[in-house]
Amino acid sequence: MAKDELRNDDEFLEDDLEENDEFDDDVEESEDDAEAIIEKLIAQRDEYLDQLQRSRAEFINFRKRTDAERLRLGEMFTASTIGKFLPVIDDWDRAMANVPENEHDDNWFKGIQMIQAKFHQLLENAGVKHVDGVGAPFDPAIHEAVSVEPGTDGEYVVEVYQQGYKLGDSLLRPAMVKTGDAPREFEA
């Protein structure tokens, strides 16, 4: 019986060793599987991170575009609104220029002058600037020549019929001018 027991023990040990070898193989396979799973998860994480970074960059660019568009629309609205007031301000300036000299000391005239100054201050506060006038070189981008002094090249503005205005880099209205040679006071 002792031999049978030893044989059984030997068989048992052999079976146990075979099971351990199978277990070791399973462990190695599961380690390989775990490494593959980890690599797959890392790749998936990297893909999600990349998508997140791209989405974030797209959102930042979207916000910049919408802010720029909002600013551009505000400038367009401002330019449009101011452009509608320019003829009124021109009429006001012409009317003030034609008030007889003997009425310049009257209180009503001084009050009207103050209102006129407020209009011009509003334009200045909005960033509106006059287009260069008398003595400036003629520039068709900002001047509209309606007449030319005879016998001249028309290279300079010699008279302004209607003031031109700019808002920032945008031209609200070109100046209507008469061109000619440089006035003597502007010649070098």
Walking along the chain (188 residues) 10 residues at a time, the average pLDDT comes out as 54 62 62 86 95 96 96 89 90 90 90 92 91 89 91 88 90 93 64
Q: Do residues 164 and 136 make contact, with C-beta atoms less than 8 angstroms apart?
A: no
Cα–Cα distance, 123 to 86 (Å, whole number): 9
Tokens 């449009």, residue located: 80
Amino acid 8: pLDDT: 58
What's the pLDDT at 152?
Answer: 83
Q: Is 141 within 8 Å of 173 (Cβ atoms)?
A: no
Q: Which residues contact 94 (CB under 8 A, 6 or more apart)?
A: none
Pairing of strands 143-148, 175-180: parallel
pLDDT computed for residue 11 by the predictor: 63
**pTM for the full predicted model:** 0.60
Q: Which pLDDT score, from 0 to 100, does residue 22 have?
A: 61
